[in-house]
Amino acid sequence: MARIKQIVLTIIILTLLTSCDFISNTYKCKNTTKEFVESLIKEDYNKCIDLMAMDHEMAKNANIDTMKMGFANFRQLIVKNWGKELNFSLMKSEKKFSTIETDNTPANTTLVLVEFKNDKDFGVLQVLFDDKSKKIINIKALDVRAPIPSVTIFWLFGLVAICVPIFNIYVIRQISRSDLNKKWLKYLAVIFLNVPSITYAAVNGLSFNLLNFQFLLGVSFGYMGYLYTYWTVGIPLGGIYWIWKLRQRKGEVIETELLTDQNVENELIIDNEKPALE
């Protein structure tokens, strides 16, 4: 048993260390992307070349002059649509352990999405990094250009959304205090049966999904750049059903108790009306 605990503890420590290293590398990728775009805007294409993974197999046959022409076209796209004063923020990253041929993504790379914006609009950069050199293999702007949305309605919707898990937790507590059999099945119904769902996204607004289950007590949340900022809340059908059943059960118990009390009172009245024996 002690050996098993030691193995589990070792696995947990290694997982935490690996996760911390991945997070650290991800933020380095974001900073490298920022440095690349700022150099691009300044037309310092030699610096851009230095930030590219030129030793990677995907870039071995690359022509420097052709790359600089591509940088010039890329710069024109960025400056024309977003200007020269930009802010950058990390959206998400994904580690690639094996080759994905359909996406032309090699193994031992990290795919990073970086949001960039001016005072009015935002866009998204998709950047592929070589894990060995920590340099850029490929960078492109996704087909995203949208006004910076207000997040006020987003947070107001969030206040409504968190009412669902609070309600589900309340129902679970009521089930635990009841005399129902197989309570664990009722718990699962409350936790998982949250459907259909309503989503409010900062960019796209409200949407309705008929068969979208929300398994985390009825709500999910994303806050990764404007494009992936959303609340999704499921209608708590499981919680509503079991709170109704508990209320119905409680009503039946109260009705039974009232009938019992009434029967006892009737018996006492009958006994009192019997003539006393001489």
Same domain, 173 and 246: yes
pLDDT of residue 176: 92
Residue 57 CA from chain centroid, whole number:
34
Same domain, 142 and 235: no
> Is the residue at 267 inside a domain?
no
> Is the residue at 11 inside a domain?
yes
Same domain, 217 and 235: yes
Provide the domain limits for residue 96.
Answer: 2-146
pLDDT tens track for 222-244: 888 898 899 999 999 999 999 99
Same domain, 141 and 159: no
Same domain, 188 and 135: no
> Is the residue at 181 inside a domain?
yes
Task: Select from 102, 128, 146 the last residue of a domain.
Answer: 146
Name the residue with higher pLDDT: 62 or 72. Answer: 72
Bond from prior residue into 147 cis (ω within 30 degrees of 0) = no
> Is the residue at 275 inside a domain?
no
Same domain, 142 and 156: no
> Is the residue at 274 inside a domain?
no
Task: Select from 146, 162, 177 the last residue of a domain.
Answer: 146
Task: Please give the structure tokens belonging to residue 221.
Answer: 């949340």
Residues 6+ apart with CB under 8 A from 99: 105, 106, 107
Same domain, 128 and 177: no
pLDDT at 202 over 60: yes
Question: What value does the mean pLDDT take over residues 144-166?
Answer: 92
17 sits in the region (left: phi over 0; alpha: psi -120 to 50; else beta) called alpha
pLDDT of residue 27: 75
Give how many domains the chain has, as a whole number. 2
Same domain, 141 and 157: no
Neighbours of 253 (CB within 10 A): 11
Same domain, 95 and 216: no
Nearest 5°: the CA angle 123, 204, 100 is 60
Same domain, 20 and 59: yes
pLDDT of residue 106: 81
> Is the residue at 125 inside a domain?
yes
pLDDT at 170 over 70: yes
Give Cα separations from 27 to 14, 101, 134, 138, 227 (angstroms): 20, 26, 11, 17, 19
pLDDT at 64 over 60: yes
pLDDT of residue 13: 36
Question: What value does the mean pLDDT take over residues 18-25?
Answer: 44
pTM exceeds 0.75, yes or no: no
Same domain, 114 and 209: no
Same domain, 142 and 176: no
